[in-house]
Amino acid sequence: MSRAAAGSGDPSGGDDERLRLDKWLWAARFFKTRSAASDAVDGGKVLVNEQRVKPAKTLKAGDLVSVRRGESQVVVRVAQLSARRGSAPVAQTLYVETEDSVKRREAQQAAGLDRHPASEMRGRPTKRTRRQLGRVLGEP
């Protein structure tokens, strides 16, 4: 049986020792869609073994992947490969976060740097807050 025929019937990706980076990022639930993963890789927000790569870069178990989203950065080691997107608990088995990354993320959470500025806003601004904002911006 040819290699192409052997790999085509296995949607889980169990046969492959290598997998496209954008597919793995999607399966590991770092991004909601493959195109979003591909755009992030193209934009330099994802590094493999501390090098900028293309979305079609083939990953293998043991590779170090760094994903930057906003102010936070997560560094993980690839534990398993899967081309299938499963549930969140299954996706978490695909990687192991490095100790440095965990410490950095916890420090950001403790300092409150992981919150989005708009997360504290509730609804539309009141007339009073609009006036205050106008004063800060120097509007009449």
The domain segmentation of the chain, as residue ranges, is 3-112
Q: Does residue 8 surpass a pLDDT of 70?
A: no
Both tokens of 78, joined, read 């690839």
The 10 Å CB-count burial string (b at 16+, else e) for 66-76 is bbeeeeeebbb
The pTM assigned to this predicted structure is 0.68
CA dist 130 and 111 (Å) reads 28
CA dist 104 and 14 (Å) reads 33
Q: Does residue 76 surpass a pLDDT of 80?
A: yes
Topology at the third CATH level for domain 3-112: 3.10.290
Average pLDDT, the chain: 83
81-92 pLDDT tens trace: 998 999 999 999
Which has the higher per-residue pLDDT, 45 or 116?
Answer: 45
pLDDT bracket for residue 25 (50, 70, 90)? very high
106-138 pLDDT tens trace: 888 787 765 655 566 678 888 888 888 888 888
